[in-house]
Every structure is written in structure tokens, then in C-alpha cells.
């Protein structure tokens, strides 16, 4: 459970950082007129704009995952650092680009389950001591 909690905490951090940097990129002067504005009148341009934002978010998330590979490797207990594991960094970057809200919710669920497990264990120990 601790490994899962550590992984989810890392994913929340990666997701929040990815969201912030993606918003900064969207606001850059040369890109903002295309990326930050809706193009509702032209559906294919709007879909292309959305796809570009997703690609930027995945690239940013992948970069952050690669940069944070030390903590990720230790949290997941992967052994020696796999420096050439671009598939793993791309996967984590894609997951991070999905947004921090889902990871925050998942982390809350894991923490609740862990607390319930600890409560059951304490109650069982208490019952065994009284019995």
C-alpha cells in the first residue's frame, strides 16, 4: 500500500506540474492566438487545436517523468534506474497529462482504504488482547 501511495503522490505532483507548464505554453505570445482561443466556427481547426494541447501536455509530462526518474524508480521499487526506458517515461507522461484531479481522487481513495485497514488491524489486536 505504501508503494501505491508513493506512486500516486508522485503522479499528483507530475500532473500538477504538467498542467501548469502546459498552461504557460498555451499563453506564449506566438502560440496563444491559436492554442488559447476556441475556434468553434471551424470544427477541424478546433479539433487540431485540442490535439496539439494534448500532445504538448504529453511531451511536458514525459519530460517531467524522465527528469524525476530517481524518485519514480525508488517509489515503484524498479531496481537500477532504467535510463533508456522511454516507453515507461512516455506512459507516465501520458498518465500525468490527464490532469491532477483524477490522481488526487485516487490518492484519497487509497488513503481511506489504508486507514480502514489500520483501524481493522487495531480492533483485531484490541480484541485479541481482551479475549
Span 33-54, pLDDT tens digits:
788 777 778 888 888 888 888 8
At 62 the pLDDT is 93
**Would you state the pLDDT for residue 131?**
53
Three-state SS at 68: coil
User: 82: pLDDT confidence band, cut at 50, 70 and 90?
Assistant: low
Round to whole Å and give the CA distance between 46 and 23: 17
Of 95, 99, 75, 79, nearest to 87 by C-alpha is 95
Whole-model pTM: value is 0.71
The pLDDT, as a whole number, for residue 100 is: 65
Amino acid at each position: 500500500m505504501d508503494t501505491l501511495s508513493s506512486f500516486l503522490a508522485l503522479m499528483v505532483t507530475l500532473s500538477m506540474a504538467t498542467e501548469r507548464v502546459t498552461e504557460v505554453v498555451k499563453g506564449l505570445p506566438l502560440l496563444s492566438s491559436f492554442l488559447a482561443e476556441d475556434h468553434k466556427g471551424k470544427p477541424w481547426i478546433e479539433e487540431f487545436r485540442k490535439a496539439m494541447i494534448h500532445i504538448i501536455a504529453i511531451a511536458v509530462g514525459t519530460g517531467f517523468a524522465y527528469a524525476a526518474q530517481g524518485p519514480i524508480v525508488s517509489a515503484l521499487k524498479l531496481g537500477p534506474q532504467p535510463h533508456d526506458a522511454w516507453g515507461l517515461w512516455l506512459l507516465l507522461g501520458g498518465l500525468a497529462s490527464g490532469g491532477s484531479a483524477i490522481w488526487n481522487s485516487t490518492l484519497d481513495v487509497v488513503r481511506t482504504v489504508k486507514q480502514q485497514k489500520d483501524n481493522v488491524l487495531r480492533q483485531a489486536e484490541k480484541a485479541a488482547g481482551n479475549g
